[in-house]
Amino acid sequence: MNEIRGDRQYAETHEWVLDNGDGTYTLGISDYAQESLGDLVFVELPDLGDLISSQEGLCVVESVKSASDVHAPVDLKVLEVNESLDDEPELVNSDCYDAGWLIKFNADSIDGLMDSDAYIATLDLD
């Protein structure tokens, strides 16, 4: 069963964004996305300070099945990357909403993202 947390905003491309309450945000991929990808074996994260436009490739997650781009859901500046993923990319599979986060960023706005109910409605959960 896919866990979709209600405290996050979601993009149609299966990224989640959590407001950290201090003007920064944390981003990862949803449980639906990590389950679809399969066991991750590598995560290529962006560099600190990178400015990434909405819908551009932010990083690459590689599984035993394929490699997939993770897209920036908004215009953002990378403040921190989850360096634990260098040695343990499987954290995205085992704990995608907490230990398996990808980046922390700042942005002028996260308007346009979906709440959990709207995101669930886009998923094919049959």
Please state, in angstroms and rounded to a whole number, the distance separating the CA atoms of residues 58 and 120.
23
Q: Domain total for the chain?
A: 1
Q: Is residue 86 part of a domain?
A: yes
Q: What is the dihedral of CA 27, 31, 36, 38, to 10 degrees?
A: 90
Q: Is residue 39 part of a domain?
A: yes
Mean pLDDT throughout 29-52?
96
Rounded mean pLDDT of the chain?
Answer: 95
* pLDDT score at 65: 85
Q: Is residue 67 part of a domain?
A: yes
Q: Is residue 77 part of a domain?
A: yes
Residue at token pair 């500046």: 77
Q: Is residue 1 part of a domain?
A: no
Q: Is residue 115 part of a domain?
A: no
- Note the pLDDT tens digit of each residue in 55-100: 999 999 999 989 999 999 999 999 999 999 999 999 999 999 999 9
> What's the CATH number where 97 sits?
2.40.50.100
Q: Is residue 92 part of a domain?
A: yes
Strand order in the sheet with 25-29: 9-10, 15-19, 25-29, 103-106, 76-81, 51-52
72 is in which domain, residue-wise? 9-110
* pLDDT score at 2: 83
Contact (CB, 8 A) for 81 and 74:
no
